């Protein structure tokens, strides 16, 4: 192998090692969003999608954000007609699996909000995985009552009702 060819391989290897998928062990976090809150709100939720494109299982073990005192993975369930919410604990994401955090299901619960979340705000969030380590993402704040990402702006010609 020539020296220039070896140098090219070395440089290419370094470039591939820096890609987010290999740095994150195959964990990909996308579609991160939250709903706007009232001025008096002390809690909020962040929704997102986590995919494991790797070959080994990984676990979401913690969450944190500077906008709240605590952030925890939670899940809302319906039991005998009563809606209940509880901490999830560590959440395993199997290889090839995608886990969706959405309203009325899994979410990152923010407790002790330091200020209301306003439409258009950007909320930093750190998710910690057992193998992939800390992943920093940003949630975009959508309108109050939104059911999915991208609902932030009112439809053309329609008043914003919040």
Give pLDDT tens digits along the chain (162 positions): 444 434 333 333 333 332 333 346 799 999 999 999 999 999 999 999 999 999 999 999 999 999 999 999 999 999 999 999 999 989 999 999 999 999 999 999 999 999 999 999 999 999 999 999 999 999 999 999 999 888 754 443 344 443
Residue 37 domain flag? yes
Residue 4 domain flag? no
Residue 108 domain flag? yes
Per-residue confidence (pLDDT) for residue 152, from 0 to 100: 59
Residue 147 domain flag? no
Residue 3 domain flag? no
Per-residue confidence (pLDDT) for residue 151, from 0 to 100: 73
Residue 98 domain flag? yes
Q: How far is residue 141 CA from its own chain's centroid?
A: 12
Residue 14 domain flag? no
Per-residue confidence (pLDDT) for residue 137, from 0 to 100: 98
Domain count, the chain: 1
Residue among 110, 136, 138 at smallest CA distance from 122: 138
**Is the full-model pTM beyond 0.85?**
no
Residue with tokens 């369930």: 77
Residue span of the structural domain in which 121 resides: 25-142
What's 74's domain CATH number? 2.60.40.1890
Residue 66 domain flag? yes
């Amino acid at each position: 192998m020539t020296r220039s060819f070896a140098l090219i391989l070395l440089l290419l290897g370094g470039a591939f090692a820096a890609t987010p998928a290999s740095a994150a062990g195959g964990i990909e976090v996308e579609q991160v969003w939250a709903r706007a809150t009232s001025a008096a709100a002390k809690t909020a939720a962040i929704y997102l999608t986590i995919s494991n494109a790797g070959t080994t299982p990984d676990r979401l073990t913690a969450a944190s954000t500077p906008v709240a005192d605590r952030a925890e993975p939670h899940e809302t369930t319906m039991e005998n007609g009563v809606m209940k919410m509880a901490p999830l604990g560590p959440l395993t994401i199997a290889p090839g699996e995608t886990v969706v955090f959405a309203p009325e299901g899994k979410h990152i619960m923010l407790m002790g909000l330091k200020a209301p979340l306003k439409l258009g705000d950007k909320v930093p969030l750190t998710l910690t995985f057992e193998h992939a380590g800390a992943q920093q993402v940003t949630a975009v704040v959508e309108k109050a009552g939104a059911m999915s990402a991208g609902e932030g702006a009112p439809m053309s010609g329609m008043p914003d009702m919040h």
